[in-house]
Amino acid sequence: MPVVNYQQYCHMLDNAKQNKFAYPAINISSSETINAALLAFKEANSDGIIQVSTGGGKFASGIGVGSMSKGAIALAVYTHILAAEYDINVALHTDHCHPEYVEGFLLPLIEETKKRRAAGLPNLFSSHMYDGSALPMKENIAESKRLMQVCVENDLLLEIETGIVGGEEDGHDTSAVAADKLYTTPEDMVMAAKEVGSMGRFLLAATFGNVHGVYKPGNVKLTPAILQKGQAAVAKALGADSSLDLVFHGGSGSELEKIHETLEYGVVKMNIDTDTQYAFSRPLVDHVMKNYDGMLKIEGEVGDKKVYDPRSYGKKGERGMADRIIRACHDLRSAGTSLGKNI
């Protein structure tokens, strides 16, 4: 099915919230990784989210261009074309746009959507993320509101972040951040709900000890009760119907029990990147090690075209990544929940 529009995306999120599951949001950086995500969602019978970061966009544009916005546009157009061949629903999202990249990444993508809308075409992306979490809360919210206004005008959802996800992602390192910054306060959640939520529907990445990067199971110490307390504070301040749509970042190494607990508190989207990167790369390494002599022209030999053809190992990476995403769909309880053509 085509990439979802605003109303369809809201329907997806409502379905997740009411039935206490979350959509895997898969970071992509190439046609192969897009194909893996679409294949996985189809085989799991799950709707899902495909997202591109500033670094992913820059990589996709190639060494000769090096433009995060141009690369993101190319990936989005590819997704629109291929998603139409599948019977599940997909939302297109951008991930972690920090303040310094708003002018060079986020706003050009919204401008591209404006051009498409003027031409009678669907939005390029379904939603965008602005990550102003490193700023003082008032500055974060002020800039979030400015971007929210542009999103509302163009039928786009905005995701924002309060509190800081630790670790390193896409070259953005927060490992030295003070521990108390890793936890969103109930007051932060209420402020976001009042200021940004009054303008329209949005997603909130509230932090509760989550960390970007690679960690062994049990090494990430999550406190999901922070989300519960925050939602309770929002309900008390704004009413029972004001519950926030929450996003879980930095889930690698998280215990499944803790992940399931967050679903009880309104998490409807969970970002998955580190684990799928490994799942894509692992079969490629296996292929090279098993076909070393064929991959390389050693001692005057010619190698074996069948094994050094990128298609021979690229499809193995696609399959490996797809299998990991299917597992994520089951872990997040989205498997079997696709709205299909009923959206």
Catalytic site includes residue 331: no
Residue 253 in tokens: 């190494």
Q: By CB neighbour count within 10 A (0-12 exposed, 13-18 middle, 19+ buried), where does 108 fall?
A: middle
Task: Report yes or no: 12 and 132 within 8 Å, Cβ to Cβ.
Answer: no
Residue 278 in tokens: 């490994």
Helix, strand and coil in the chain, % to nearest 5: 55, 15, 30
- Spot the catalytic one: 47, 87, 95, 180: 95
Pairing of strands 168-169, 172-173: antiparallel
Residue given tokens 């960390």 in the structure block? 211
Q: Which of 256, 334, 342 is nearest to 19 (CA)?
A: 334
CA distance 28 to 212: 16
How far is C-alpha 91 from the chain's CA centre? 10
CA distance 272 to 274: 6
Residues 6+ positions from 12 with CB-CB distance below 8 Å: 4, 23, 47, 89, 91, 339, 343
Task: Report yes or no: 228 and 244 within 8 Å, Cβ to Cβ.
Answer: no
Q: Which amino acid is at 87?
A: D
Distances (CA, A) of 201 to 15, 127, 151, 162: 15, 11, 10, 16
Supply the residues annotated as catalytic.
Answer: 95
